[in-house]
Structure 1
Amino acid sequence: MKYGLALFLLLFTLISCNKDDGGGAYTATPLNLEIPSFFEENILPPIIPEDNPMSVEGVALGKKLFFDPILSANNTQSCADCHSPQNGFSDARQFSIGITGEAGNRNSMPLQNLAWNYNGKFFWDGRAGSLENQIFEPVTNPIEMANTWPNAVASLQNSTEYPVLFDDAFGTTTIDSTMVSKAIAQFMRTLISGNSRFDQFQRGEIELSPSEANGLNVFLDESRGDCFHCHGNPLNPLWTDNIFHNNGLDEFFIDKGLSNVTGDPRDDGKFKTPSLRNLAFTAPYMHDGRFETLDEVINHYSEGLVYSETIDPLMKAVGEGGVHLSEEDKADLKAFLLSLSDPSFINNPDFQN
């Protein structure tokens, strides 16, 4: 018995040292994303960084961090407070409010299918070059979590449970901000939405209603909706081109969008195309949440386009103020757009706290 106990203690010590030696020998349990078959058939594989492979332990840690207010300066705000599952991982408020009570000037972007963001630009203005980098900013932003990374890491390090969870995920109990961002990014890459009514239609499980079917035609018709140039077509399950456009909201810009990042005035007023998935849950709309309803969005493109020097050439009807849809086409377009919403996504227990 003494020999067996000694052998057990030796093995335990070797395993523990192996996890903490920083030599990269430790490997967490690999996890494969549950990718809808339609994604696999029509778009490139998801982007998983070589230095941040998916793991069971990493995703579990990232989920806990996402819902835990421990990263904020006063332990009152989590990522989920501005990216609520029930709102398609966006915010029902026009502008999210940080721990100081101050609001920003942009609407919280929904989080879905982020592993397929091929241009690698995140935020409305593309200022983050990867999902991991995107996660760094909210913690230190003075109108969001208003913390410092050393303070956030110290809070995690001094907790009773997080050092163990980081050990499980990354093989070390010494926590740093890079591992925090990697874990949260792993969880966010699991937020895959691909079971809307339209997805079910494409799988041959249901038929679209006449209104939804005509709405799809309006969406694809260059003389009517002309929506597909920026949001893709039924062969693009992301329903966004992930590119930056000036879509005719304003003549002059208080928030200059992409040009704040590039410094190029030709990028004034350009913002990232949001996905059309889960519009039933993600109001309000546009980068500044100016439209409370989907009807207002449709009316903007129908009658409300505004010319500016950087207007996207795809806004071909700006000279007429919009594409001037009939009331029937507006209603049908709305029905189609809502068919892209996925209740199973916002109710998935894997994505809940």
Structure 2
Amino acid sequence: MTYAVNLSVTTVGLSVSGTTVSGTPHTAGTVAVTITASDGRGGSATQTFNIVVSPVSQAALGRPTLPVALLAYSDAGIGLPAHYTRTGPGAPAGADNTPQNNPVTNAGATLGRVLFYDRRLSQNDTVACASCHQQAKGFSDSARLSVGFRGGTTTRHSMGLSNARYYARGRFFWDERAATLEDQVLTPIQDTTEMGMTLAELEAKLAATDFYPALFRDAFGTTEVTRQRIALALSQFVRAMSSYRAKYDQAFVNGVPNFPAVLTAQEERGRQVYTGVGRCDGCHGTDAHISPNIFNNGLDATVTDAGAGGGRFKSPSLRNVAVRGPYMHDGRFATLRDVVEHYDHGVQDSPNLAPQLRDNAGAPRRLNLSEADKLALVAFLGTLTDTALIQDPKFSNPF
């Protein structure tokens, strides 16, 4: 006897391998499973049974647990250090993309936190913003490509959100297709792979969820749930993810650094490589370690993903980079050591290669770092890990 198994619907997250039905259903409904037994001599029989997938219950989705007193998210409440607030060339404050009509407020960021972690923002209540931007991973994803609400995968790696507010160009996504953060936060919600909602559906869904009207009233003065307010609140929460409590920051006193007093000898050697022969700060500058522009960083001689044009991509801040692997827009590098090896001797030539990555003869730059220098550079990048941020309860899941 031989057996065959067929599903009436194959787009719900279930699949058949041999005679085994497996998977994680992502759509409510009924799937008919038909088994056919054949004797090899023209005789056969079939039997059908149903798999019933129930919707996720509101009880299973839960309610957020929030403190009675609002947590501090605004600059006035957290007190950014002097090396972040100072003005002048190269200062992080000069790259702040916070618009005048959407400053971070405690109530607005609180609403944003709930929205960020709520799976109701996806069509089938299975995926939240935090599914692909995990706090412990510097608000990135440990997977090379993230999994969406129907089990499909994204085309690029999830970008880390630490210090997202510090990018003077103000544009978002690896290819900068979103003009503002307020535009960006609504895009994954509507994406047919990531979360699969329409904004009209989302407005109605949240308005019908009992705890949201009060949160919208606290943040904006009335209980009205709108896509504009959703965008404003999510943006406030993301911009509140400032990273200023890493080991690197401990070297500053009243805005003046004394790195040898805080960093180990190896870490300080790595910092000198970073700002010296490595010239890493040409694309990852200021004390927030942010990019000033989009760059082609020599990943491929023949560009297959044009990004923002010519293989140029936006780069996130290097804060929390040590916990954020894999790396690059496509997640091709598993470790920081892989990244260092690329910039040491793996940069590929292409017409739009960043000038910072060319030598005086115009060829792709080769650092030829010693093993000790490579290890030191990786050690220095570890000093940018802001444990306080990636463990801060006010950025954690409230559900």
* TM-score, L = length of structure 1: 0.84
The 3-state SS of whatever aligns with 2:152 is: coil
Q: Distance in 2 between matches of 1:128 and 1:293?
A: 28
Alpha-carbon contact 2:97-2:170 (below 8 Å) kept: no
Residues 316, 73 of structure 1: alpha-carbon distance in 2 compared, 3 angstrom cutoff: same
The 3-state SS of whatever aligns with 1:116 is: coil
- Residue of structure 1 equivalent to 2:31: none
The 3-state SS of whatever aligns with 2:283 is: helix
Equivalent position amino acid for 1:113 in 2: N
- Residue of structure 2 equivalent to 1:98: 148
Q: Where does 1:197-208 land on structure 2 (aligned, <5 Å)? A: 197-203=247-253, 206-208=261-263
Q: Distance in 2 between matches of 1:299 and 1:103?
A: 28
**Structure 1 ranges of 4+ moved more than 4 A:** 28-31
Corresponding position: 1:331 with 2:386: no
- Residue of structure 2 equivalent to 1:133: 183
Corresponding position: 1:344 with 2:393: no
Alpha-carbon contact 1:141-1:147 (below 8 Å) kept: yes
Corresponding position: 1:44 with 2:93: yes
What do the CA deviations read for 1:180-228 (whole angstroms, capped 9, x no partner)? 010111111111111111111233595211111111111122xx31212
Alpha-carbon contact 2:166-2:290 (below 8 Å) kept: no
Q: Distance in 2 between matches of 1:84 and 1:278?
A: 12
**Which of these residues, 350, 353, 375, is aligned with residue 311 of structure 1?**
353
Q: Distance in 1 between matches of 2:347 and 2:210?
A: 55
**Which of these residues, 266, 277, 280, is aligned with residue 211 of structure 1?**
266
Q: Where does 1:130-279 land on structure 2 (aligned, <5 Å)? A: 130-203=180-253, 206-221=261-276, 224-232=277-285, 236-259=286-309, 268-279=310-321
Alpha-carbon contact 2:74-2:240 (below 8 Å) kept: no
**Which of these residues, 85, 88, 92, is aligned with residue 135 of structure 2?**
85
Q: Which has the higher helix share?
A: 1
Q: Distance in 2 between matches of 1:103 and 1:50?
A: 36
Which one scores higher on RCO, CA 8 angstroms, separation ≥ 6?
Answer: 1
Q: Which has the larger radius of gyration?
A: 2
Equivalent position amino acid for 1:214 in 2: R
- Residue of structure 1 equivalent to 2:340: 298
Give me the CA root mean square deviation: 2.0
- Residue of structure 2 equivalent to 1:5: none
What do the CA deviations read for 1:135-183 (whole angstroms, capped 9, x no partner)? 1100011110011111111110111111121122112222111100101
Q: Distance in 2 between matches of 1:146 and 1:277?
A: 30
The 3-state SS of whatever aligns with 1:166 is: helix
- Residue of structure 1 equivalent to 2:20: none
- Residue of structure 2 equivalent to 1:22: none
Alpha-carbon contact 2:85-2:93 (below 8 Å) kept: yes
Per-residue deviation, 1:320: 5.8
Equivalent position amino acid for 2:157 in 1: N
The unaligned stretches of length 5 or more in structure 2 are 1-69
Q: Distance in 1 between matches of 2:73 and 2:150?
A: 38
The unaligned stretches of length 5 or more in structure 1 are 1-27, 260-267
Q: Which has the higher strand share?
A: 2
Per-residue deviation, 1:104: 1.6
Equivalent position amino acid for 1:336 in 2: F
Alpha-carbon contact 1:306-1:321 (below 8 Å) kept: no
Q: Distance in 2 between matches of 1:312 and 1:320?
A: 9
Equivalent position amino acid for 1:213 in 2: E
Corresponding position: 1:69 with 2:141: no
Residues 217, 55 of structure 1: alpha-carbon distance in 2 compared, 3 angstrom cutoff: closer
